[in-house]
Amino acid sequence: MALVSTPATLERAVPVMDNAEVLRIRNDFPVLNQLVNGQPLVYLDSGATSQNPVSVIEAEQEFYEQRNAAVHRGAHHLAVEATEVFEDARQTIAEFIGAEYEETIWTSNATEGLNLLSYALSNAGLWAAQGRGDQRLGELALGPGDEIVVTEMEHHANLIPWQELAFRTGATLRYIPVTDDGNLRMDQAGGIVGPRTKVLAFTHASNVLGVINPVKELAALGHAAGALVVLDACQSAPHLPLDVKELDVDFAVFSGHKMLAPTGIGVLYGRQELLDILPPFLTGGSMITTVTMERAEYLPAPQRFEAGTQRISQAVALAAAANYLTETGLDRIHAWEAELGQRMVAGLESIPGIRVLGPAAGKERIGLAAFDVDGVHAHDVGQFLDSRGIAVRVGHHCAQPLHRRLGLTATTRASAYLYNTTDDVDRFLEAVAGVRAYFRA
């Protein structure tokens, strides 16, 4: 059997994934064993929301059946057990991304994590001006003359919070542009990130282009300018080994529903020395040390950012999802999805009238491909594929500026995961090949 080895991620070679193993994996995902419009389901929309294995479903169900109680608040048996599994889940996720326990914050999703961070940074200036909190807060405050830098390929979740932060503080928002083939203009990045830059936020892997950005290079650029480096890991945490310390980012976010877990759970990673001084985003119970009628004092991270009743069962299920991915091997998953991605892109490029966004076949990308069909709207393409049992994403994928840059309003996107086979990709390609003829384009 062929072996795969990835530098810095494997101490020994491991068997590569193949269709036979993937078919066994599919048995863990009940939703995949159904017919859609009379055809076996081909689910190629995991970039939006992934499916859940039985172990994840059972983990959440078992919590409600055996341990359902409020955490951190009760001395009775169920409350103690609930707290234990809740915090064990935090430790699991911390290890999954190479972080410390105290650096792992529960959120509802990545969008909430980025909003949490942007609001905390805008409040840093207010607290510093009032002499409240740590004296280092002044270094994090933004104001007129400061700059926030993003990229032209960002998902709206990693763009709009920074637009609003710039509006609230008077800072200026700038961006690193992309090339026609969807790569960052790294030749221009050094002239955009500079002494005025206070925040550099960018995606690890584009949800439209499939490109994997040079995180270490960007992080080094940001830190050399004295900026905070924020990583959107939504399309990387589920698909490839992620070590936030090794990547040298200050903050990172990702969502559970894209990595086999339920909706309603996400993670914000932040360096502990930063989290402990940032003003909280939501305030209320469970995140305080002392409260008087005039003011409150707040706990350090992680509780500092976890006001109110938390997403307990979802956190437990997210830990089960992380364990599933770890046991399968993220290096193996990444290699398999890269193979599927190359198969998709090469096949799409061979079909007349198809324009594929992002790197061409043979260039590194994650296992997704967004494309435009000449003369046929993306929504019509999606409905045509659905009629053949193939689930894909259509629209601008929450990346309107990127689509506008590439001269498009909408595209169709197919995104694979560890439960997809080469047969899934081939069925998808065969269907796409018939789109233009069907619509007489």
Q: What number is the average pLDDT over the span 402-430? A: 98
How confident is the model over 416-427, as pLDDT tens digits?
999 999 999 999
How confident is the model over 313-356, as pLDDT tens digits?
999 999 999 999 999 999 999 999 999 999 999 999 999 999 99
For residues 262 and 333, membership in a common domain is answered with no
Residue 59 lies in a domain: no
CATH number of the domain encompassing residue 364: 3.90.1150.10
> Is residue 74 over pLDDT 50?
yes
Spot the catalytic one: 10, 36, 391, 398: 398
Q: What is the pLDDT of residue 312?
A: 97
For residues 197 and 294, membership in a common domain is answered with yes
Q: Is 234 a known active-site residue? A: no
Radius of gyration for the chain, computed over Cα atoms and rounded to the nearest angstrom = 22
For residues 160 and 242, membership in a common domain is answered with yes
pTM of the model: 0.95
Residue 57 lies in a domain: no
Residues 435 and 376 sit within 8 Å (Cβ to Cβ): yes
For the chain, how many structural domains are there in total?
Answer: 2
Confidence of residue 13 (pLDDT cuts 50, 70, 90): low
Q: What is the dihedral of CA 382, 385, 391, 396, to 10 degrees?
A: -20
Q: What is the pLDDT of residue 1?
A: 33
Please provide the average confidence, as pLDDT, over all residues in the chain.
95
CATH number of the domain encompassing residue 141: 3.40.640.10
For residues 258 and 362, membership in a common domain is answered with no
Q: What number is the average pLDDT over the span 71-94? A: 94
How confident is the model over 166-190, as pLDDT tens digits?
999 999 999 999 999 999 999 999 9
For residues 307 and 339, membership in a common domain is answered with no
Residues 272 and 102 sit within 8 Å (Cβ to Cβ): yes
Confidence of residue 14 (pLDDT cuts 50, 70, 90): low
Domain span including residue 383: 3-52+329-438
> Is residue 5 over pLDDT 50?
no
For residues 142 and 269, membership in a common domain is answered with yes
